[in-house]
Amino acid sequence: MAAYDCDVLVIGAGIVGLSTAHAITRAAPGTRVVVLEKESGPARHQTGRNSGVIHSGIYYPPGSLKARFALQGSAEMVKFCTEHDIPHEVTGKLIVATDRSELPRLHGLIQRGREHGLPVRELGPAQIAEYEPEVRGLAAIHVGTTGICDFTAVARQYARLAQDAGARIVHDAEVTTIGRRPGRVAVRTADGTVHRARALVNCAGLHCDRIARLAGDAPGMRIVPFRGEYFTLTPERASLVRGLVYPVPDPAFPFLGVHLTRGIDGAVHIGPNAVPALAREGYDWRTVHPAELAGTLAYPGSWRIARRHWRYGAGELHRSLSRRAFADAVRRLLPAAREEDLVPAPAGVRAQAVLPDGTLVDDFLIADSPGMIHVLNAPSPAATASLPIGREVARRVLGILGPGRA
């Protein structure tokens, strides 16, 4: 029996795992890559359950991985979609201040956008109406490089390119055991199959910390799942929104607030409202996994988040339980929106890394371990930045393999 079934095992066929497989096969042709995915198809969780926005990078501090990779990734994503005939559009977006207290933060974003070299334009109320006649605000900025696309289609294209280059993608392959020795990793899946490799990449998203611990590593963080709840405008009211409209984000919390997004399908998505999920894949209040919930509640960081952000969280919870309260929040940006205009839409769950002291990890987090690379925090804008993230992870894992990798 061969000592290795492949050179690199990638756990997770979301957009980051598939981009990594694609990047490895491009950077080192002949490297044997196997992707293990517990679902029956790719992109079933964070990748396939977001608003489809190609982010410009304006929110992220200069020098951060998010800034660097989003700035690169947004341009590369548009190019990739064009080359592979994937539906997309560069729409631009508005970031709108509706209260005077938000104006200093809006001006800070203008400065940051200019530092990043982004095309940003300051707008007054009359100019806001030129872009979005139904949106009201005291001031806004227009960011020209934001767009929309179908990230599930992007992920499937990464998979096709990786497979064309020799990679193998195995679905219905939930990882249950990981063993490691110097220069060797062995992974057992739920059906009893064992895969032996020279290196492992953990792109398990909502389960990445659990996979790291399964491999014997202490990730130093825990995924605390937050559900993002969305509505769509009814078709007859979708004309209220032309493009993408965002509030000024609260820097104390890593979520962008309830925003308005006309997607590639023409539907207008409104959200997300962010609430704690009762399971890692808890897409509604009825989905509860007691063991996962117990793990979240036993984690000190969860209680420290709650103490630090309880006012913010109470508002999110109220909007989750009351469509009227959600509609009131929407009307801050879109006064014409009515409660009856909102139709519930599929929710997503954000895999948010939290440190033991309750700090919400704000940047991408990629950790090296002997024979392994763990992607431990890759929420939005990871889909936008998936090409540069994939290249970075590929560079690190190929460094583990060394010159005789193929």
| pLDDT tens track, the chain, 406 positions | 458 999 999 999 999 999 999 999 999 999 999 999 999 999 999 999 988 999 999 999 999 999 999 999 999 999 999 999 999 999 999 999 999 999 999 999 999 999 999 999 999 999 999 999 999 999 999 999 999 999 999 999 999 999 999 999 999 999 999 999 999 999 999 999 999 999 999 999 999 999 999 999 999 999 999 999 999 999 999 999 999 999 998 776 656 678 999 999 999 999 888 899 999 999 999 999 999 999 999 999 999 988 888 777 888 888 898 999 999 999 999 999 999 999 999 999 999 999 999 999 999 999 999 999 999 999 999 999 999 999 999 999 999 998 755 4
Q: How far is it, in rounded angstroms, from Cα 62 to Cα 116?
A: 7
Q: For domain 6-47+152-221+362-401, which CATH number applies: 3.40.50.150, 3.50.50.60, 3.90.79.10, 3.90.190.20?
A: 3.50.50.60
Q: How far is it, in rounded angstroms, from Cα 233 to Cα 239?
A: 9
**What's the residue count for the chain?**
406
Answer whether 202's CB lies under 8 Å from 35's CB: no
**Residue 319 has what pLDDT?**
87
**Residue 309 has what pLDDT?**
80
The DSSP string of 250-290 is: PTTSSS--SEEEE-TTS-EEEEEEEEE-SSTT--STT---H
Q: How far is it, in rounded angstroms, from Cα 25 to Cα 390?
A: 11
DSSP element (H, E) containing 222? strand 222-233
In degrees, rounded to 5, the angle at the alpha carbon of residue 272 between the alpha carbons of residues 220 and 365 is 25
**Residue 344 has what pLDDT?**
94
**Residue 406 has what pLDDT?**
44
β-strand partners of 233: 342
Enumerate the domain spans of the chain: 6-47+152-221+362-401, 224-233+265-360
Q: How far is it, in rounded angstroms, from Cα 163 to Cα 151?
A: 18
Residue 197 CB coordination number (10 Å): 22
N-term to C-term CA, the chain: 19
**Residue 361 has what pLDDT?**
94
**Sign of the CA dihedral with 110 first, then 77, 154, and 61 last:** negative
**Residue 405 has what pLDDT?**
52
Of 369, 370, 352, nearest in space to 361 by CA? 352
E-assigned strand segments in 248-384: 259-262, 268-276, 342-354, 365-369, 372-377
**Residue 316 has what pLDDT?**
86
